[in-house]
Amino acid sequence: MLKRAIDDEKNLKRISRIEASTVRLERLYKELIYGIKKQIFPIEKESFDLCTLIQERTETLSGFEQNRFELQLKSMQITADKIGFEKMIDNLLMNAMKYSPKERPIVVRLEDKVLEIIDYGIGMSDTELLRIFERYYQTDTTQKGEGIGLSLVKSYCDSEGIEIRIQSLKNQGTTVSLYLEGI
């Protein structure tokens, strides 16, 4: 209703930010409920189109007004813990955004049962890559974070039978590859 009543660009931008925040708040609520349920009983797997999920998540994250996303997606149906999968994708996309210059795109490619998230950011050395899945480990302590995201991603991948590989070069970027044959 407010959008229809307002026509100046500044206030429309504010309303868009409020909308994006509302979506994020709803997502946090769902994740909280998910976490509680997961502790009580096993989460049922569901079938969903991965291409649609990635489009939804990148659209939501575009509200942060960071990097743009370059999507190269081929439709693929998978059966998995959908909320857990969304959390994992969000974590990987937010890491790519956090460590990349805003003007560089984040490439998300889905082809032949392999999902790749490619950034052109600060990258990591071979030494840093060895510890990347350790809980509380951070390669860049100047960035906001707790160092648990990739540990949670790895845990989710292990529980779902997803192989994860990370390739990175310092000052050139990082590619995260998820091999989805098993789901």
Task: Output 145 or 122, whichever has higher pLDDT.
Answer: 122
Q: Where are the alpha helices (DSSP H) in 78-139?
A: 82-98, 126-130
pLDDT attached to residue 39: 67
Amino acid, res. 146: E
pLDDT in tens, 70-121: 999 999 999 999 989 999 999 999 999 999 999 999 999 999 999 999 999 9
Q: How confident is the model at residue 174 (pLDDT cuts 50, 70, 90)?
A: very high
The candidate with the shortest Cα–Cα distance to 80, out of 176, 172, 158, is 158
β-pairing, 163-169 with 114-119? Answer: unpaired
Tell me: pLDDT of 141 over 70.
no
Please give the Cα distance from 157 to 170 (Å, whole number).
25
**pLDDT value at 145 more than 90:** no
Type of residue numbered 10 = K
Q: Do the Cβ atoms of 70 and 54 come closer than 8 Å?
A: no
Choose between 108 and 146: higher pLDDT. Answer: 108
Per mean pLDDT, which range of 47-51, 110-114, 147-151, 159-163 is the poorest?
Answer: 147-151
